[in-house]
Amino acid sequence: MIAVLVIDMQNAYFEDPVLAMHRERITAACNTLIAAAASHGVPVLLVKTEHERDRSTWTLNMLDDQQGFIYRGSTQADFVAGLLISGLPRLTKTRDSSFIGTDLLWRLRNWQVETVVLAGVSAHNCIAQTAADAFAHNFRVVHALDAIAGNDPGSQALTQELLAREYRQKMLPHREIAALFAGEPMRPAAGPKEGFAFPGST
């Protein structure tokens, strides 16, 4: 069974000027992925980050800087305009990984999921941390390249190369992910020198 995690497609993250340039493209790509999943009965989970104003959920760097972020109920915490969210289940996290402090593992087990498809932002932070923890829990991972963005192309390329090489995670475009939804077999893992150009690489 496959499930799709759409991660942190919220207003706060697209305040970053670099990510803002990708907002419309990534939103459209996520919508395409969500629609394809829905057409094949593949579950989709919207994952978002929210913090409390009382500092109880803050990360170490937030505490060090004495500055909160993306408070529950704020406009920052809202999903970006245009994202398909109607009727989809949601999960709230307070750390980069979607597994830390959440019931994600139980949800995936209840769905009998073996493979997770990741989409959203940011490539070398929340996507990467979720991908690493998915590997630790023995889930296979597919990164929906067309539906993922980051604000540091160099870090994104290195992180995706590492995940592909060390954890054997797939880096696929929409058409191949749609084929997975339709029940077609996954292609063999391709290393970074086997025809795949990582974003930001030349």
| Per-residue confidence (pLDDT) for residue 156, from 0 to 100 | 86
| Per-residue confidence (pLDDT) for residue 194, from 0 to 100 | 41
pLDDT tens digits, residue range 87-106?
999 999 999 999 999 999 99
What kind of architecture, by CATH, is found in domain 2-49+82-181? Answer: 3-Layer(aba) Sandwich (3.40)
pLDDT > 80? residue 195: no
Average pLDDT taken over every residue of the chain:
88
- Average pLDDT of the segment spanning 167-174: 92
pLDDT > 60? residue 158: yes
pLDDT > 80? residue 45: yes
Nearest to residue 49, comparing CAs of 25, 76, 87, 18? 76
- Average pLDDT of the segment spanning 3-11: 97
Per cent of the chain over pLDDT 90 is 73
| Per-residue confidence (pLDDT) for residue 196, from 0 to 100 | 39
Q: Tell me how far CA of residue 44 lies from CA of 50, 67, 123, 167, 197, in angstroms.
A: 19, 32, 19, 23, 27
pLDDT > 70? residue 199: no
DSSP letters spanning 59-113: -HHHHHHT---SBTTSTTTSBPTT---TT--EEEESSSSSSTTSSHHHHHHHTT-
